[in-house]
């Protein structure tokens, strides 16, 4: 059976992390997530992530590292998360989202994340270049 995998990106730019507010389905609308989507047959996780971020936000990104672990989602899906660098473009809520927000150091707790994203977000913030609370 094909894996049912949702990939999401902890997209960084200038020390900030991108959060996206879902506009659908109704049970998830209004909650914040790391943008991404389902892996299609024949795609790697990284390929799916680059495609989804292009479709949903209109930007080009480069996946950097996988955040260790995976988190169970409804209907047998699992969530896998990568950190990703914004390469070009200005993110816009083209699909699936109605608001985007760049969160600076100390701001990751200011949006209502989906529960299943919380540990990945915490780990992403720790990895935030120059801003996760660990001086480098």
Closest residue by Cα to residue 120 from 5, 17, 31? 17
Closest residue by Cα to residue 33 from 71, 64, 63, 61? 71
Residue nearest to ligand 8DG (CB): 37
Position 114 contacts ligand 8DG (CB under 6 A):
yes
DSSP string, 61-118: EEEEEEEEEEEE-GGG-EEEEEEEEEEES-----SSEEEEEEE-TT-GGGS-B-GGGH
| Shortest Å distance, C-beta 136 to ligand 8DG | 26
| Shortest Å distance, C-beta 20 to ligand 8DG | 8
| Shortest Å distance, C-beta 87 to ligand 8DG | 19
Binding part of the chain for ligand 8DG, among 59-67, 83-91, 109-117, 127-135 by CB under 6 A, reads: 109-117
Binding residues vs ligand 8DG (CB under 6 A):
6, 8, 28, 33-38, 52, 73, 77, 79, 96, 114, 116-117
């Amino acid at each position: 059976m094909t894996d049912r995998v949702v990939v999401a990106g902890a997209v960084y730019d200038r020390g900030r992390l991108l959060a996206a507010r879902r506009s659908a389905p109704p049970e998830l609308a209004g909650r914040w997530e790391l943008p991404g989507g389902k892996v299609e047959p024949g795609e790697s996780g990284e390929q799916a992530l680059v495609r989804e971020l292009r479709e949903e936000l209109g930007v080009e990104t480069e996946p950097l590292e996988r955040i260790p672990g995976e988190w169970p989602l409804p209907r047998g899906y699992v969530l896998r998360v990568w950190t990703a660098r914004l390469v070009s473009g200005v993110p816009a809520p083209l699909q699936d989202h109605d608001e985007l927000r760049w969160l600076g150091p100390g701001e990751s707790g200011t949006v209502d994340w989906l529960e299943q994203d919380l540990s990945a977000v915490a780990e992403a913030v720790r990895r935030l270049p120059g801003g996760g609370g660990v001086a480098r």
